[in-house]
Structure 1
């Protein structure tokens, strides 16, 4: 469903392929590698921030993303779930990662297990709307993310205003993040500035998925 609108012609084709965005013109095959790389980076950031929070009291100026308790679903499984049901392009997840990076810099929010899931579903929603040529509405994304439509609407507005609606991602920026992720995946270098570590059918595949759709995040 989600063909990316962003022009990636200037991106190194080897890196683009290695991250699983596409198989050199054959389309997406299986689960893109970008998903596991992003989940790994986010998990490391959350772990580091929560370790530091034991000695430093972080101030959360955007409390709307802060849940009452950590969801039981892991970051990896949550990202996989979004990819499975939302039908957005693989490059949409990198754009979402860029948005989250901008968000934490703009707000000085630290990623934790209490806010990372809401930031993920919101950033992917915004990235799909801005970059993909087709996307599902907020009600559908809310079901995928396990929140109410009203809450996702509020999260989206807060996210957009926090970014000052700066959603444009240049080819150079996209290329830079691709290169950083590739370096991370090869364990050659750490990402230069880690996040605060410093159409598919509109139906569910099974009853169990539908049952838990609005109970993932509390």
Structure 2
């Protein structure tokens, strides 16, 4: 099927280029920016959900086949980079995979945590590659990339598909909205990070308590 029609006359063309979903005229190679944005979004979601679950004194709201006994040692960011490096799938697949994960969470009411995010990622990215790209590897290969057995990945794939009612189609409009959301999330994270960095610099100047700084970090 190939990647979505990113070359269409769309006002989001600059965003696609910024995310690394379109090749620039200079043809500069490198890791697409979309990988770090998707990773960051997932990491913040996991942190937020686990804080809420901890506050409610709940280990996990709902256990599924995607849950492991313990969180993998590999971070989400490194896991995403690993999948991109060895799967050879198009960068657009990571946006589509994010859409699939959201559909899964909405249909199952499962909370995204460190116990299930890795399995959801490898499953959703594999499905996105199968649906989006002209060429892709088989389940056995993706299982090796994802660090699970072929049997387990087959089971995860079927569970995921039935959970989202096999809704793999993603419209260009929906794809574009998610790309805009990623850009907005990145801008918001940068606005939060800058005051925190300023606070750390200020704290290095003085050991005294600073109420303004503390309130900014706690926000």
> What residue in structure 2 maps to residue 52 of structure 1?
52
Instruction: Confirm or deny: 8 A CA contact 1:22 1:29 kept in the other structure.
Output: no
- Which protein, 1 or 2, shows the higher relative CO under an 8 Å CA cutoff with sep ≥ 6? 1
Say what the alpha-carbon RMSD is for the aligned residues.
Answer: 1.9
Q: TM-score by structure 1 length? A: 0.81
Q: 1:65 to 1:27 in 2, by over 3 A?
A: farther
1:81-134 per-residue CA deviation (whole Å, 9 max, x = no partner) reads 000000000001000000001110110001110000000000000000011111
Please give the secondary structure, in 1, of the residue aligned with 2:65: helix
TM-score by length of 2: 0.80
Task: Please give the residue correspondences for 1:31-180 in structure 2 after superposition, counting only pairs within 5 Å.
Answer: 31-56=31-56, 57=58, 58-60=60-62, 63-180=64-181
Q: Name segments (4+ residues, structure 1) moved above 4 Å.
A: 25-28
Which structure shows the higher helix fraction?
2
2:4 corresponds in structure 1 to: 6
- Hey, what's the Cα distance between the residues in 2 that align with 1:27 and 1:97? 26
In structure 1, the partner of 2:203 is none
- Report how many aligned residue pairs link the two structures: 187
Change (3 A) 1:185 1:138: same
Structure 2: gaps of 5 or more residues: 192-219
SS at 1:166's partner residue?
coil
Question: Which structure 1 segments of 5+ residues have no match?
Answer: 191-218
Distance (whole Å) between structure 2 residues aligned to residue 188 and residue 81 of structure 1: 24
**Residue number in structure 1 paired with 2:24:** 24
Hey, what's the Cα distance between the residues in 1 that align with 2:26 and 2:97? Answer: 24
Partner of 2:185: 184
Q: Distance in 1 between matches of 2:121 and 2:28?
A: 21
Give the Å deviation of 1:20.
1.2
Larger radius of gyration: 2
In 1, the alpha carbon distance for the partners of 2:82 and 2:157 equals: 19
